[in-house]
Amino acid sequence: MYFPPTVTDDAQAPRAYVPAMTDTLDAAPETLADIPREPTQDGPRIRLYLVDGSGFIFRAFHALPPLTRKSDGLPVGAVSGFCSMLWKLLVEMKSAEDAPTHLAVVFDHSESTFRNKLYDQYKAHRPPPPEDLVPQFPLVREATRAFGVPCLELPGYEADDLIAAYACKARDMGGEVLIVSSDKDLMQLVGDGVFMLDTMKNLRIGPDQVMEKFGVPPNKVVDVQALCGDSVDNVPGAPGIGIKTAAQLINEYGDLDTLLARAGEIKQPKRRETLIAFADQIRLSRELVRLDCDTPLPATLDELAADDPDPAVLAEFLERMEFRSLARRVGDGKGRSGPRRRHARPGGAHPRRAAAWPDRRQRLRLRPRPRDPRRLDRPRPGRRRGRLRHGDRRALGLQRQPLRRVAGGGAGRGLLHPRRPRARGATAASTSRRRRTWPRSPARKSSPA
């Protein structure tokens, strides 16, 4: 997988095309057997890939139609999409020039974290997850382990904190980190060997992309977020201050502490009063958006070494989930695809059937399809109910007569019949009863009074 370079001074430099990872989740990727390169690299000793598992789950759940397991009706749509996305990432990263030496998928353990103790309204307005998604959370974690990828989570901490802790540790050891996510809260980690990959846009995010989004370098993203707040996570911030105003203030005064200390020097009265009145709330917001790089690590970096999945474990999981098409694409997890279903060919069972197949197929094609006049009111694609085709009209002898629909019940309901001309001087009300019951059988004619 080739990642496009970050924005340089030469804006006209050619860029290589990168196939979007989200084009089709079910598209068969290139097999690992066709890739001669092993998952090693000539660069730093540690190249860590950290996948935001929560983002993958919700993206797969909302992007794909509902899917249930046929045996018991268990919802597995998000699990199927997650497995397809993870397998595609594994194939592409192995063929990339900067293939990882370490890999992990990070999940949120629970909704309650240490930030809820600082601010009880943190993420309080978020609705609960959909009912169909709740039973798929443990299955997604099981799928991650079945593909041979470490699954990380920690009670009391968010997945972003774990990603920050591992990114800081790998960076301090002289390694490189690629965070597979598009979450803006993780952009404060970009820089000094840490990059992000937005798989939705297939964009590699570096310091230039962060500067374009926030208007400040990555080390000042926290100050901007503390000022403007975050409505998604219910971070209060300063009322009436957006990203552009926050970036302008931070660039002018250097950092958030200096800005709050010199808030009285601001010329705009409303902005000055807001910063003075909500100074404590702004400082609280900074603690809510700042990621904790000192988060305890549930596993060492050595335990995150990239490796191929166990074929038996992976095959058992895919069979239990009834992902047969995905199992054929994945094969044993090492690039050797499973056997594909062959389409039945004519004459495969008996030579006589093979010899007679073309004639039989031609006879079926040329055989006229019988029509039942009593069911001509059945709607056809692209036609209004009750309309007759030219051949049907000719069969009934109605091609030269004006047609109307019978309003009465019975076997003739909905059929089209010749219109009986209205008598001269008769009104619609006087002929309505006659039209509803016409045509009458000769045997049912009324006798004279």
pLDDT tens over the chain, length 449 residues: 444 444 444 444 444 434 444 443 444 444 444 444 444 445 568 999 999 999 999 999 998 888 999 999 999 999 999 999 999 999 988 888 888 999 999 999 877 899 999 999 999 888 888 999 999 999 999 999 999 999 999 999 999 999 999 999 999 999 999 999 999 999 999 998 999 999 888 899 999 999 999 999 999 999 999 999 999 999 999 999 999 999 999 999 999 999 999 999 999 999 999 999 999 999 999 999 999 999 999 999 999 999 889 999 999 999 999 999 999 988 756 655 555 544 444 444 455 554 544 555 555 555 555 555 555 555 555 544 455 455 555 555 545 545 555 555 445 455 555 555 555 555 555 544 444 444 555 555 454 54
CA angle, residues 297, 304, 298, in degrees to nearest 5: 20
Q: Cα-Cα-Cα-Cα dihedral of 410, 416, 417, 420, to 10°? A: 100
Q: Cα-Cα-Cα-Cα dihedral of 114, 51, 187, 165, to 10°? A: 50
Tell whether pTM > 0.85. no
Select the CATH number that applies to the domain covering 32-330 from these four: 3.40.50.300, 3.40.50.1010, 2.70.70.10, 3.40.630.40. Answer: 3.40.50.1010
Q: Cα-Cα-Cα-Cα dihedral of 66, 71, 72, 78, to 10°? A: -30
Q: Is 231 exposed, middle or buried (0-12, 13-18, 19+ CB in 10 A)?
A: exposed
Q: Is 386 exposed, middle or buried (0-12, 13-18, 19+ CB in 10 A)?
A: middle
Report the relative pairing of strands 403-405 and 194-198 from DSSP bridges: unpaired
CA angle, residues 235, 236, 237, in degrees to nearest 5: 105
Instruction: Let me know: does 158 contact 75? Beta carbons within 8 Å.
Output: no
Q: Which residue has the tokens 């044993």?
A: 332
